């Protein structure tokens, strides 16, 4: 049975607010009917929506790292946060802790493309959150031209003084050390251990591997800051020589796909089947004579001596091999175009499905009609005080609705353009390989000389034409230990 915690929030800034008791009742009913056990309840009272000072919310996020429950159950998603960016950030933290967010009253789409879209939108928010409106964008550009720091997460190694980014010499030393070590071939994990041993931390904790990987890719350390098509060399002072950065970038590019998760996660867990005996292929850990830990994938049938002789494969090799091929396939123009158009359509659907906006628009139309009816009555000589009062009421209501509609629209108006979606798709292919594998691949049947990759259908409903992903079918050959492995790609219907 799955477990959940409830998060409820009552904000005093809305009159139609559901009470805490009401929220809890709905959530508990939802849990009962979905066979979910509630293990804890977090409540914030009378805080405004824009104020992030919500002690129980923070506590809930913190507690999620203990990985003791599966879901956070909410009355409505807006309990979580009214700020999309903030919501994405918190949702990502929870997801990293294996926790999903459920709304008891709203449908949250969970189809593969919605998951990809969500992660892309998250990425989008992370990268472009600072430019939600043209105005902000323009202001920031002006600011950049002056060499001013425009806010956001500040890169390790720098600090801000009088609106300018300056080198934090103590931290810059660590940055140089990290790059030099990596250039010499030291593993990120070992670099972190060395830093920790020296007492060098990031925000009081040992560096995370992802942080180091992000640092290794960050051109700002050479003094160059690219923003869209503009290049600014007056914002970040140089910490590293260009040659060292280039050397490291080249090195890290060679092992980038999904690396950050490969250290601890078995990328292909539950996806592999032995082509000879049909048993699952599972992850194993062994130790070489010198004591070095090696990880590999082994047929369970062979492990239990059913006579199968399927060769074991090194974890890193197989994962890189699969990821490389998935990324290659999904990067091809035809596949890419199809995915982008599916994602753009999905985005439109999400926006049109905005129930609040629909309700407000309907109410607005009704109000307009009522006003024009009264206008007609007045024209026909009916000008009593009651009629005039009613008229004023309606005008006021119309104004309020207009405002509410504008707010609703602004929340969904920052839609991702096709160009941006394309950029994010490419980026997701590089950085979210784990996510892609999990979502897109249904099964991989493994032989010694070939593998058959079966993809999930990215689109479950819709006309036949849009469900035609036959271009997924592809045969690829890649060498392994001098042999060529044939790859067949098929597609689950």
Q: Which of these segments, 54-62, 101-109, 294-302, 327-335, binds Zn ion (CB under 5 A)?
A: 294-302
CA distance 428 to 438: 13
Q: Which is nearer to Zn ion, 128 or 296 (CB)?
A: 296
Q: Which of these segments, 36-44, 218-226, 269-277, 327-335, binds Zn ion (CB under 5 A)?
A: 269-277
CA distance 132 to 421: 16
Task: Give 479's DSSP letter.
Answer: E
Q: Which of these segments, 162-170, 235-243, 276-284, 437-445, binds Zn ion (CB under 5 A)?
A: 276-284
DSSP-derived pairing of the beta strands 313-314 and 293-299: antiparallel
Q: Which of these segments, 302-310, 401-409, 418-426, 456-464, binds Zn ion (CB under 5 A)?
A: 302-310
Q: Which is nearer to Zn ion, 115 or 277 (CB)?
A: 277
Helices (H), 146-225: 169-183, 188-197, 209-216
Q: Is 447 in the site for Zn ion (CB under 5 A)?
A: no
Q: Which of these segments, 156-164, 229-237, 297-305, 338-346, binds Zn ion (CB under 5 A)?
A: 297-305
Residue 208 CB, nearest approach to Zn ion (Å): 37
The CB-side HSE value for 94 (13 A sphere, CA atoms) comes to 23
Residue 446 CB, nearest approach to Zn ion (Å): 9
Q: Angle 391-397-398 (CA atoms, 0-180°, nearest 5)? A: 90
Q: Which is nearer to Zn ion, 178 or 446 (CB)?
A: 446
Cα 398 to Cα 230, 363, 402, 404: the distances in Å are 44, 9, 6, 10
Which pair of structure tokens corresponds to residue 440?
């897109």
Q: Which is nearer to Zn ion, 185 or 307 (CB)?
A: 307
Q: Which of these segments, 61-69, 132-140, 292-300, 431-439, binds Zn ion (CB under 5 A)?
A: 292-300
Q: Which of these segments, 288-296, 301-309, 340-348, 432-440, binds Zn ion (CB under 5 A)?
A: 301-309
Q: Is 275 in the site for Zn ion (CB under 5 A)?
A: no
Task: Name which position in 130, 308, 374, 405 contacts Zn ion (CB under 5 A).
Answer: 308
Residue 281 CB, nearest approach to Zn ion (Å): 7
Q: Is 297 in the site for Zn ion (CB under 5 A)?
A: no
Q: Is 312 in the site for Zn ion (CB under 5 A)?
A: no
Q: Is 301 in the site for Zn ion (CB under 5 A)?
A: yes
Task: Assign 83 to helix, strand or coil.
Answer: coil
Contact (Cβ atoms closer than 8 angstroms) between residue 4 and residue 70 = yes
Q: Which residue's structure tokens are 């999309």?
A: 84
Contact (Cβ atoms closer than 8 angstroms) between residue 94 and residue 72 = yes
Task: Name which position in 273, 274, 446, 487 contacts Zn ion (CB under 5 A).
Answer: 274
Q: Which is nearer to Zn ion, 159 or 303 (CB)?
A: 303
Task: Assign 262 to helix, strand or coil.
Answer: helix
Q: Which of these segments, 21-29, 56-64, 152-160, 305-313, binds Zn ion (CB under 5 A)?
A: 305-313
Q: Which is nearer to Zn ion, 274 or 453 (CB)?
A: 274
Q: Which is nearer to Zn ion, 88 or 274 (CB)?
A: 274
Q: Is 310 in the site for Zn ion (CB under 5 A)?
A: yes
Q: Which is nearer to Zn ion, 86 or 284 (CB)?
A: 284
**Site size for Zn ion, by CB under 5 A?**
8
The CB-side HSE value for 472 (13 A sphere, CA atoms) comes to 21
Helices (H), 64-152: 84-96, 112-128, 134-145
Residue 304 CB, nearest approach to Zn ion (Å): 10
Residue 306 CB, nearest approach to Zn ion (Å): 7
Q: How many CB atoms lie within 10 A of CB 357?
A: 18
DSSP-derived pairing of the beta strands 313-314 and 441-446: unpaired
Q: Is 391 in the site for Zn ion (CB under 5 A)?
A: no
- The β-bridge partners of 160 are 165
Q: Is 469 in the site for Zn ion (CB under 5 A)?
A: no
Residue 298 CB, nearest approach to Zn ion (Å): 9
Nearest to 156 by CA among 142, 169, 141: 169
Task: Tell which positions 409-428 bind Zn ion, by CB under 5 A.
Answer: none
Q: Is 448 in the site for Zn ion (CB under 5 A)?
A: no
Q: Is 272 in the site for Zn ion (CB under 5 A)?
A: no
The 153-172 site mask, x for binding Zn ion (CB under 5 A), equals: --------------------
> How are strands ordered across the β-sheet holding 281-287?
281-287, 293-299, 313-314
Residue 305 CB, nearest approach to Zn ion (Å): 11
Contact (Cβ atoms closer than 8 angstroms) between residue 425 and residue 340 = yes
Q: Is 394 in the site for Zn ion (CB under 5 A)?
A: no
Nearest to 80 by CA among 42, 33, 120, 129: 42
Q: Angle 159-163-167 (CA atoms, 0-180°, nearest 5)? A: 25
**What residue ranges bind Zn ion (CB under 5 A)?**
274, 276-277, 279, 299, 301, 308, 310
């Amino acid at each position: 049975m799955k477990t959940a915690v409830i998060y409820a929030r009552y904000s005093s800034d809305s009159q139609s607010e559901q009470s805490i008791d009401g929220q809890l009742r709905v959530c508990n009913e939802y849990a009962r009917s979905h066979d979910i056990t509630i293990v804890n309840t977090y409540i914030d009272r009378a805080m405004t929506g824009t104020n992030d000072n919500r002690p129980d919310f923070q506590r809930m996020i913190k507690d999620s790292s203990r990985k003791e429950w599966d879901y956070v159950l909410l009355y409505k998603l807006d309990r979580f946060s009214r700020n999309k960016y903030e919501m994405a950030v918190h949702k990502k933290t929870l997801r990293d802790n294996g926790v999903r967010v459920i709304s008891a009253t709203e449908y949250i789409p969970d189809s593969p493309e919605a998951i990809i879209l969500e992660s892309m939108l998250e990425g989008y928010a992370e990268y472009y959150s600072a430019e939600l409106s043209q105005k902000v964008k323009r202001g920031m550009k002006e600011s950049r031209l002056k060499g001013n720091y425009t806010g956001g997460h500040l890169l390790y190694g720098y600090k801000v003084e009088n609106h300018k980014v300056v080198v934090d010499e103590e931290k810059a030393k660590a940055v140089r050390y990290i790059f030099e070590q990596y250039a010499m071939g030291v593993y990120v994990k070992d670099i972190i251990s060395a830093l920790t041993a020296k007492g060098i931390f990031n925000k009081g904790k040992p560096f995370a591997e992802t942080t180091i990987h992000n640092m290794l890719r960050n051109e700002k350390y050479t003094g160059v800051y690219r923003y869209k098509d503009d290049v600014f060399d007056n914002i970040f002072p140089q910490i590293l020589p260009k040659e060292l950065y280039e050397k490291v970038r080249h090195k890290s590019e060679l092992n980038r796909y999904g690396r950050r998760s490969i250290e601890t996660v078995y990328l292909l867990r539950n996806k592999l089947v032995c082509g000879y005996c049909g048993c699952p292929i599972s992850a194993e850990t062994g130790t070489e004579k010198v004591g070095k830990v090696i990880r590999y994938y082994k047929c369970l049938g062979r492990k239990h001596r059913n006579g199968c002789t399927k060769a074991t494969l090194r974890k890193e090799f197989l994962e890189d091999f699969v990821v490389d091929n998935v990324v290659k396939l999904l990067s091809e123009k035809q596949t890419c175009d199809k995915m982008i158009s599916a994602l753009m359509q999905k985005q439109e659907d999400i926006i049109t499905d905005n129930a609040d906006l629909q309700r407000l628009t309907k109410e607005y139309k009704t109000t307009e009609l009522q006003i024009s009816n009264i206008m007609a009555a007045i024209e026909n000589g009916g000008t009593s005080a009651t009629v005039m009062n009613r008229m004023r009421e309606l005008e006021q209501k119309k104004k309020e609705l207009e405002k509410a509609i504008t707010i609703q629209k602004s929340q969904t108006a920052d839609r991702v353009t096709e160009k941006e979606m394309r950029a994010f798709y490419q980026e997701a292919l590089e950085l979210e390989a784990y996510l892609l594998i999990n979502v897109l691949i249904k099964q991989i049947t493994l032989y010694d000389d070939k593998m058959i990759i079966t993809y999930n259908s990215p689109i479950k409903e819709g006309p036949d034409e849009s469900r035609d992903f036959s271009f997924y079918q592809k045969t690829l050959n890649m060498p392994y230990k001098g042999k060529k492995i044939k790859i067949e790609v098929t597609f689950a219907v």
